[in-house]
Structure 1
Amino acid sequence: MMKIHSCFFILLWNTIEAQIRYTIPEELREGSVVGNIAKDLGLDFSEVIHRKLRIASGSGKQYFSVFADKGELVVNEKIDREFLCGLSSPCLLPLEAVIENPLRLHRVEIEIQDINDNIPSFSSSQRILNIPESINPGAKFLLDSADDPDVGSNSLQSYSLNKNTFFILNVKTQDGIKIPELVLNKPLDREKQAIHNLILTAVDGGNPVRSGSCEITIVVLDNNDNAPQFEKSFYEATVGENELIGNEIVRVSAVDLDEGPNGEVEYFFAEKTTDAIKAVFAINSKTGVIGLKGPLDYEQANLHKFDVLAKDKGNPQMEGHCSVKIKINDVNDNDPEIVITSLSSPVPENSLNNTVVALISTKDADSGDNGKVNLTLASRSPFRLSPSVLNHYTLVTNAPLDREKYPVYEIKLNAIDSGSPPRSTQKIVTLIVSDVNDNPPVFSQNSYTVYTKENSFHGSILCSVSANDPDLDKNAKISYSVLDSKIQDVFVSSYIYINSENGSIYSMHSFDYEKMKVFKIQVQAKDHGSPSLSSNATVHVFILDQNDNAPYVIYPSAVMGSHQRMPRTAKPGHLVTKVTAVDADSGNNGWISYRLAEATDASLFSVNLHTGEVRTKRSLSEQDDSSQRLLIQIQDNGEPVQSSTVTVDVLIEDGFHEPISDFRKKTTEHNKKSGKITLYLIISLSSVSLLCLMTFLILLAKCARSSRGSSSCCIRRNDSAYKNPNRNLQIQLNTDGPIKYVEVLGGDMMSQSQSFGSYLSPMSEFSDFTLVKPSSTTDFTDTLNVLDASLPDSTWKFESQQVRTFFMLLSCCSNLVITLANI
């Protein structure tokens, strides 16, 4: 027995004031001798049985017993030091040695020494960390600590990390506990290496050394490059054991610099948090408030430590961490009170900074530090607390107010005393912001476009404009008016009026499209604030054409009619005359058609629908009357249709065989009388023709050079055309037969346009050339435009700088010819 005793342990005993202490290692097998307690108590072997020496244990388990034959104290049950004492050191097991006859009690302490029977272990053998590639070197990531129930040198001593390029290991000590942190040593590049595998090893100091490991997988992620950062890395609180369940113990706060979901932070307990901690405390995932969930017991545990994670809602998700330490003691059992002494509400939104809006005081029934109260604002607002005298505060403005954005503020006050742990009270102060006229009315549109028909009734509504003012009451009440301006030297207020209350715009009289096609109105919206604010909007009014003009007969005279002669030998298709009319309307309303309404003999004549040419349908016979009357109707394409009529009298002569020769004879006689004028006209026309030919050749050469870079030079628009889009040049030709007229137009929509018209007489077979002096678009040129609109197939429009140059030159030449003709 002594040999076994000396091999497995060393017996140490002392008797100090009748107290005996033995020191043994844990995990001794049953029957192992601790020491000779009878000898240490001064008893003979015979007294062990006679005096009934026995061992009593207060722990409820009988770990030891006395071997009666020799008085030896032996192990009765295998002892686990970690189960008995946890991390406490030294681990003492109190016993009582009971001796009867007479009764004596002796205190016996067994010190259980730790052996290295536990290896360091991690809560999980694997850990995955999501780290964005954009995070800077030096960033730290908390790793799970390993647990080793052993104590002293047998406990956890160090950590190590396998060799790698990007990460190093940092071990910090907090309250005697070694906590590993992973530190980024080199910038990550997800495109080069997306996953890093590391091994964290925990080593104790036993002999032999024991170790445990955890495999760490680093997943490199993109974006969401700011992890939540706690205001403090370590939070500490002290709370009484009689704290009410549900109360706030400590509030952790983390800030994420990202925006949107990447910046929304939620709070959680760390993964390694024990179930015992979760049974006592709860954390609000939204606010970070850690509250009491279950009852506290100071005698059972006077200190609680755990880690809190803050995770954002980004993709990938980022996290930060902090440590929380909560001490338990007695007792601060009175909450502080918040007293609103004075409150100024509502507050004008134009209040200056540091304007006092409330007087607040605090009080606490406790005394000492437990009665000292600190008042803070628990919610973000444009207000701040300014301390005055003891426990008194003023609530003042700290930033500009805007009633239109925040008409009411609910300011949360948080009062915390200085007790241990502190107790807090929250109170909400409601402040109403009063309105100031700081917003001008804003129109729903900066520009309005209105279309109205000409000849509309007086007082008809054109449109309604509306503006909105976010202010209140009279500051938001809006009046509408028209800024007076002139349209064709007439004030706009003569054309329209506006309802000042609802913004409806009405016409003062009917409009005439042929006189005015478009005008604009400047509308002002002004509020009733003091001072009043206003804004403007533009209303563009476009007059739509109505078919209010009947075709006007140019040739022959609608009053005098026409008297035409023709030979009885005329063939079918012989041109008798040509009716020419114009319509002042535009578009479909100005398209003109001709038809034979009445005739002495309807089988003899026909009228071209589009050109108005009157021709014979058949050969004439001796039986046909020599006097024929034709009633020709000219009507437009509008709705309703407008029409005019003209009468043509035709005299059929038997001896009238050479009308062309007669006409030439008359022309010759006329030319003899004005020989010089004819010579001048021939020279002028020849010059114009030569100049036109040269211009076309130059344009053709330019088109050939520029066609390499574009598909067509004749339709290509240059910068100048876009800079002044309302200016245009037009050439309008009649291609149904001989040229009826040529017109060159140019000018703005609202300006007086210059036009040059050249007309041929209706009798194309016997025509002479007539030039008309320039006129404005508001008189005869409009009439000619309407005439062209009736022949859509005969209208050509060129919008290039070269064509404009040509027609400007042509107009100059036309003026020259006119001058010569006037001579």
Structure 2
Amino acid sequence: ITNAACLLDLKIVVENPLEVHYVTVEITDANDHGPSFVEKEKKIEIAESTLPGARFQLPGAQDPDVGINSVQRYKLSQNENFHLEIRDRGEDKIPFLLLQRHLDREQKTNHSLILTAMDGGTPPKSAHLNLTIQVLDINDNRPVFSKEVYSVELQENAAVDTIIIQVKATDIDEGVNGDVEYAFGGDINPSLFQLFSLDNHTGQIRVKGQIDYEAASVYKLDVQASDKGQPPMTTDCRVIIKIEDINDNKPEIEVTSISNMVPEDSKHGTVIALISVKDTDSGLNGKVICHLTENVPFELKPSFKENMYSLVTKEALDREINQNSGALYVGNPIDREGLCQGSGACLTELKILVENPLEIHYVLVEITDVNDHSPSFPEKEQTFEIAEQTLPGKRFQLHTARDPDAGINSIRTYTLTANEHFEVNLRQSDTGKIPFLVLRKPLDREQKDKHTLLVTAVDGGKPQRSGTLNVSIIVLDSNDNRPIFSQEIYQISIKENIHVGTSVFRMNATDLDEDTNGKVEYSLGKTLRQKVYNMFEIDKLSGDIIIRGEVDYEENDQFELDVEASDRGTPPLTGECTLNVSIIVLDSNDNRPIFSQEMYQIEIQENVSIGTSLFKINATDPDEGTNGEIEYSLVKTLRKNIYRLFELDKLTGLIKVKGLVDYEENDVYKLDVEASDKATPPMTGESRVIIKVIDVNDNPPEIEVTSLSNTVSEDSKVGTVISLLSVTDKDSGVNGKIITSIISDGPFELKPSYKENIYSVVTKGLLDREQVSHYELTIKATDCGEPPLFTFKTFSIQITDVNDNKLCG
């Protein structure tokens, strides 16, 4: 069963005369056995994060043949990811599977390979082992939405809990790495949470509140999909919801100007009132048709602007005023402001004609003012744009109100709604009082970007009349706010060996300024160790921290990053997150256990007691936790007697004797041992333990009589061969050295052969039957061990008579 020469010793005995011949026959091997594997299939689990260069021991093939006819080489079926490596361990060749290219579970989950073992015979014989490589998943793919932008239409006033749309993201990872959850994006307006809900499992977006087209016709929702890996990976999409208008609002009529009194001599087309009509619905729902009641001397004339009308006369008016009483009275309403301008006395000279007799009378009538006009501004609204850095005391001229009334009935003052930033100041001029808006407290656009004020012009009449002006203050931004990070301290965890290019975290800084003053750019601090710059980079626009180098837990288990956020103002302002990004590297199982020696050699005595501790093997794994906890085992491809004789403590690595070790059965044992960590999947290291058995003197010699002549003629010559003996001892060394002798009396002696431990029993003197006709011959064989062991062999020799005596007498 070894590669040594197979020699067979033969002893040939020839009788008459008795002769012994020794023949040594060498048995040469023929290739009559093929290699064979203990198993037909082997399954190996490898994580897709495993680095190229990782080795995995494969089962070796067995071949009873020796020399060139034994297993000489292994071959692996052609593939792109694996390579075969052969290691010589003594006389054995051990195959290893070597990963030479990164695995990607999403491209291929299982790899099927064939390992072929071939001997060196002619023709060669072979055996095949089917290898199945199962690639285990890691979280290396982010979810992907079916669309980057979803667009859907929704009727206003849709019922609560109506399903609007279902977004769908898929993640080609498996297990929790591929489970997707949905959430609204972090930058979404909080008011939208009152209108819409998102199911985090199904991705369904439903109506949650009252949807009003007139409040907003389009909603833009950012939706984020995250997997459940550690750390999770995310992606975003946008959902655009267009609201369809329904006719849920009545038209509104507003009379913007009206003359309640009309002279009867008013010409056709005299404008009586200005009317505007509006409907907050859109499309056909917002189209309005206007008409008057029948049988009135008025009509509506449309303006050039849609939904604007003038109410005008369409025929002559008649008011009965012919009186003959001689009394002077007001026949039509008198408008002082129409007759006189200014605030002086308003005098009207009347000429009265009286007939029969014909007389002319002149009457001077003074028209006194009544407070029949309210102050009015030339425009209803006035807008100012004021930079937030404007200093207090700055003045802004307001529109001046007009009031046709005179004297006490004219404009006396201006008032302003209560606020903390502005006041009204008046300046007297030849034409009247001119109002100014005065800034008294600095503005802050980030606290309030628009101020709405109401300026009121008040006259002095009783009761007072007033007119109002809506003033809008739009606060213009200045770069007075630096970016602020959403957290003071960031702590994130990443797995070692994470793929280069992976985004591990998104920084988030906000700047309350607007436009370029509020746009944020990110960068790493300028005082970090070079190792950090080699390992990480940050996207200046998104804030994504991206892997750019190989992360190794055993080299660095934590990184500290300085991240700066700057706006694009002139000059830019910077917000700094000093030493606040702590990246903790999580250990992954990327190191296999390594034995302290690739091969151990120990010696033990045979017959050592069962339970005896022989040797403690030791392997180390630089990984952490269960990834670095080691269990030991004997490989499953050893010969069965090894499992019967030895056991290996899986936790301590202690090898103990389990059965009876017999040197004569086997003087060397080769144990292939594995050290596996407790990760999923585990990684293993291999070593070989060679146990040499030391012989003890536990076997006595054995005497074998291979040929015996029980009867010997008394006239036999000295040196006649009586018997052939062979002496053996299963022990080795001095324990197997044998001293053989005849311990009984008689004319016999032992003559050694040229070959050790082969003897001939021969006569050493003349025989005389008449004196001694029978001998009991005892042979003693003693070994040289300590203490020595011996054995005896006794056989009988009968002396036959010849006619060698004369008769007397």
Q: Would you say same fold, with TM above 0.5? A: no
TM-score normalised to the size of structure 1?
0.38
Higher strand share: 2
Larger Rg: 2
Higher helix fraction (1 or 2): 1
